Structure 1
Amino acid sequence: MSKPLIGKTAFVSGSGQNIGRGIAVHLAGLGANVVINGSRDEAACTETARLVAEAGAEALVVMGDMGQADDVARAADIAKTRFGTVDILVNNAARRPHKPFLEMTDEDWDGVVDVALTGAFRTARAFLPGMVDKGWGRIINFAGMKAIRGYFEGAPISAAKHGVWGLSKALSTEFAPKGITVNVISPGQIRKDEDNADDPKRVATIPVGFMGQSPDIAACVGYLASPEARFVTGQMIAVNGGEET
């Protein structure tokens, strides 16, 4: 495998397992050093770090809740102290609680929006100055097929992810002249790493006939993070096996 990201550093939030872990390991395989982040399971993040190191890259675990301003600031400071700048920001952290809208509290709403939307704003604000100074950067945010359609009993998820899409479009316009691209990936039905087989009921709705896996998302992130994607910005890319979005 070629290593087009040697000399780059990536920050991947929510990278203790599943999609986030797959992204971290894939970027490491492309040559990037990786800052691994999780909010609770430090053992899982440490395992991701082991896999990143096994792929030949330097790993740094920084625990913190991306919904908390102080945690974001601390994580960014630690990452920049270790690596100087973060060149690739992947905002994967999210919360997906389900509750009927009329039973929803302010805390339910804020818990989702603070991580998915406000967290993406805060991490971008923390790392963009370094990208601007270097004249190169990649920001990759996440939406989700169900969120874009309208999440049943998940109003804050849909609202936050539509907000992420708007934020991404705005940043892509503002920072394109600085050599920085900003894009969104909208995953479809992705099988968890611990599952041994696809769910037949879910497969029935997917034109390609199988559920996606973490490497499918990681490959898309790898492309968007690469120099080859220099002309791709302000886009939402659906990785969903052909389902309508």
Structure 2
Amino acid sequence: MTEQVLAGKTAFVSGSGRNIGRAIAVQLAKMGCNVAINGASNRGACEEAARLVEAEGVKSAVVIGDMGKRSDLDRIADEALQHFGRIDILVNNAAIRPHKPFLDLSDDDWNSVVDTGLTSAFLMSRAFLPGMVEGGWGRIISMAGMKAIKGYFEGAPISASKHGIVGLTRALSQEFGPKGITANAVSPGQTRVDGKDGKDPKRIGTIPVGSLGEPEEIAAVVAFLASPAARFVNGQMIGVNGGEAT
């Protein structure tokens, strides 16, 4: 049984209706943490994630809203705060990853990616940090990815957004570390999602461990960073990629 080291804490995990986000929400729940589940539109998936969270004996809330729309973000934060009173752990997981030739990118193409993956992390941090400061404890964990390590062909806004996440993380770590709040980024490598086969040789050829990652393996690292044991880990980007070359 997982030790309840986060009993009494509350987390908000964006994009947590499925895949890595859902695995993170469930792992935090196993540690005794209440969790606000978020998804853009798939309420059914979010409600299933909430059921899995509550099966661990903690509370959940489903907050539907698009992390890429400024018009949704204030409401999302307000609903989470109204439900739980304070968010102690923020996991910025929401992202979109369209690929398109750079010269074909429209302003909307750029903005939708950056708003979802980076601007939302800024705005959610700003919304929840006052409560963390008041409580003298907090964790901000943002998902970066391989695109935060190297550029990708036809993925300029994704790479820019993920590099921005690392910069934001390091800035927050310096400003809020003295207040008992750490900020770190996790950079997943190729990870199995939506039940896809993790043994596809076309996908694993560059991964030394010989398989895709599992969502639960990413969640385990996020859970450690959220725990009291990670007090001295601050301003870092941790790669979880099976040794894939960067």
**Which interval holds the TM-score relative to the shorter structure?**
over 0.9
2:149 aligned counterpart, secondary structure: helix
Q: Which residue of 2 aligns with 1:208?
A: 209
Indicate whether 1:163 and 2:198 are aligned: no
What is the Cα deviation at residue 96 of structure 1? 0.5
Query: What one-letter code is carried by the residue in structure 2 that aligns with 1:223?
Result: F
8 Å contact from structure 1 (residues 193, 214) kept in 2: no
**Equivalent position amino acid for 2:220 in 1:** A
Residue 95 (str. 1) matches residue 96 (str. 2): yes
Map of 2:48 onto structure 1: 47
Cα distance in structure 2, aligned partners of 1:35 and 1:228: 23
Comparing 111-120 with 67-76, which one deviates more in the overlay? 67-76
Deviates more, 1:156-165 or 1:146-155: 146-155
Partner residue of 1:112?
113
- Determine the C-alpha separation between the residues in 1 that align with 2:7 and 2:32: 4
Query: Post-superposition, which runs of at least 4 consecutive aligned residues in structure 1 deviate over 4 A?
Result: none
- d(CA) in 1 for partners of 2:4, 2:60: 16
For 1:198 and 1:139, how far apart are their aligned partners in 2? 33
Q: CA–CA distance in 1 between the matches of 2:65 and 2:18?
A: 15
SS at match of 1:61: strand
Q: TM-score, normalised by structure 2?
A: 0.97
Could you tell me how far apart the structure 1 residues matched to 2:111 and 2:17 are?
A: 23
Provide the residue aligned with 2:235 in structure 1: 234
2-structure distance, mates of 1:146, 1:76: 27
* Paired amino acid for 1:39: A
Say whether residues 1:136 and 2:100 are aligned partners.
Answer: no
CA RMSD of aligned residues (A): 0.9
Q: What does 1:5-24 correspond to in 2, within 5 Å?
A: 5-24=6-25
Q: CA deviation at 1:79?
A: 1.1
The residue number in structure 2 matching 1:194 is: 195
Structure-1 residue corresponding to 2:149? 148
Residues in 2 aligned to 1:147 and 1:101: alpha-carbon distance in whole angstroms: 18
Letter in 2 for 1:79: A
1:243 equivalent in structure 2: 244
> Matches of 1:139 and 1:150 in 2, distance apart?
25
- Distance between the aligned counterparts of 1:96 and 1:197, measured in 2? 20
| Contact 1:206-1:243 at 8 Å conserved across structures | yes
Cα distance in 2 between the residues matched to 1:161 and 1:4? 30
1:9-33, Cα deviation, whole Å (9 max, x unpaired) = 0000000100000000110011000
Please tell me whether the aligned partners of residues 72 and 122 of structure 1 are also in contact (alpha carbons under 8 angstroms).
Answer: yes
- Give distance in 2, aligned partners of 1:205 and 1:69: 38
What are the superposed Cα offsets for residues 41-62 of structure 1, whole Å, 9 maximum, x if unpaired? 1111011011111122111000
Q: Partner residue of 2:78?
A: 77
The letter for the 2-side match of 1:86 is: I
> For 1:26 and 1:183, how far apart are their aligned partners in 2?
18
One-letter amino acid of the counterpart of residue 88, structure 1: I
- Stretches of structure 1 lacking an aligned partner (at least 5 in a row): none
Give the gaps of 5 or more residues in structure 2.
none
